[in-house]
Amino acid sequence: MKVRLILSVAAAALTLAACGSSKDEDAKDAALSADDVGAGDLTLTAGQYSSTVELVEFDLPGLPADVKSMAERAFADGAKEPSLTCVTKDSTPEEWISEMNQSNCTASDFKQSGNSFTATMQCKDAEGLNGTVNFEGTVGGDNVQMEARFEQAIPQVGTAKMHMRVTGTRVGDCS
């Protein structure tokens, strides 16, 4: 899963559907400090991680079926190549979640229990698109599994929703 890809596909779908888009409101919750998102039990073994994504759900009210299909294919094509992330011994969960999703994300809520976590993050991509992504997942030393749910309200259209499944696996040392 790549949040940047998610946001771009949503924007492309809107363009294809000839709908206007607008940015989400800025996050109402303040960003958490690094101490608030400390590693706790959520530590990954330092190294290079390869992450893959599977699109579970994509919904945009009023989107014609052919445009939805085109957006889903574009997502699948973009998700074919795994993305690589370097996790260091000092990386916080906020950092590696953000990096594995190839976006600039800031946690506004983060909870962990044992090797499980939930997080609400405000994410931005290089194109300036903003969105709220809710994550839940588990960490097991050299792998991480996440479910990510993205929602963005689109004026005069409704709420765009995407649900992705992300798997990250350590593939070696960072280069």
HEC string for the chain: CCHHHHHHHHHHHHHHCCCCCCCCCCCCCCCCCCCCCCCCCCCECCEEEEEEEEEEEEECCCCCHHHHHHHHHHHHHHHCCCEEEEECCCCCHHHHHHHHCCCEEEEEEEEEECCEEEEEEEEECCCCCEEEEEEEEEECECEEEEEEEEEEEECCCEEEEEEEEEEEEEEECCC
Q: What is the pLDDT of residue 170?
A: 95
Can you give the pLDDT of all 175 residues of the chain as single tens digits? 344 444 444 444 433 333 333 333 333 344 434 444 444 557 789 999 998 888 888 888 888 888 888 888 888 787 777 788 899 988 888 788 877 766 777 888 888 888 899 989 887 766 555 778 899 999 988 999 999 898 877 777 788 888 989 899 999 999 8
Q: What is the pLDDT of residue 41?
A: 59
Q: What is the pLDDT of residue 33?
A: 41
